[in-house]
Structure 1
Amino acid sequence: MISVNPDRVSQLEALLEEKKFVESSVYFYPGAPDEVSRLQAELVINTAIVSILKVSESEISEGEFWGIIEVAARALSVMDSEEMDRGFTYFEQIMDVFEIASSGGRLNQWRYGFDPTIQH
């Protein structure tokens, strides 16, 4: 189980309020190509955050957490690669809120279709 404490809720709420998919030199992201694309991508990330917050006020199972992120990753998969990449950095920010150091290869699998840490 992953603890959902008031500090984490506050961090997620702050991320929820943030305008997303705008130009960022930190992430080498040029910004969404247009406002409609930006809003669509932002909705995917915000929906994931709201879903995490709605699951429980005290804890969320790892299965529920990764299930929510996977749904968002699938929604991003139909967007331009730049939005997909930036979306995955939002997933990493969410992971940081919960002090999750690794996705266990999930993010690579969802983004690229394989886990580069697995030897073939």
Structure 2
Amino acid sequence: MINKTEQLENVKKEITFESEGFYPGLADEENKTVLINLFNNIIDEFISGVENNFNDKDYVNLISKNVIRFDTYNLDTEDREYICSSFEKIMDAVDLGSSDGILNKWMYGFDIS
């Protein structure tokens, strides 16, 4: 069975900001490498969390701290949805069932929880 660290490493490979499904790809191509590197660094923080036996609250704090790092980029709705979906893949890898409304609030500006 694949462990959490391996799952997170696999998520790194999946985050490309390339066109897939309904996602048209990153609107601002110039930011692609920067955003991929940002996600790789975030995933590294989650890997460190796995190694340090983080609990759900610790992982939620990591999401809260990191999702706002994307606010400095000119992202359209599809890009923001892609970012939320990528965080959900990270959450799945560490068995985190909820971001406690953080992703929803970042995406839509309000909390539905």
TM-score bucket (shorter structure):
0.7 to 0.9
Inter-CA distance 62–103: structure 2 relative to 1 (3 Å threshold): same
More helix by share: 2
Between Structure 1 and Structure 2, how many residues are aligned?
111
Tell me the C-alpha RMSD between the 2 structures.
2.2
Which structure's CA Rg is the greater one? 1
CA drift at 1:99: 2.5
Q: Does the CA-based 8 Å contact 2:16-2:36 persist in structure 1? A: yes
Mapped pair 1:88 → 2:78: no
Contact 2:27 2:79 in 1 (8 A): no
- Structure 1: unaligned runs, 5 residues or longer: 1-5
Match of 1:105 in 2: 101
User: What is the CA–CA distance in structure 1 between the aligned matches of 2:20 and 2:24, rounded to whole Å?
Assistant: 6
What 5-or-longer segments of structure 2 have no aligned partner?
none
Question: Percent same amino acid among aligned pairs?
Answer: 28
Q: How far has the Cα of 1:43 moved from its partner? A: 2.0
Distance change in 2, residues 1:101/1:50 (3 Å): same
TM-score with structure 1 setting the length: 0.77
- 1:1-120 equivalences in 2 (<5 Å): 7-25=3-21, 28-57=22-51, 59-79=53-73, 80-81=75-76, 82-117=78-113
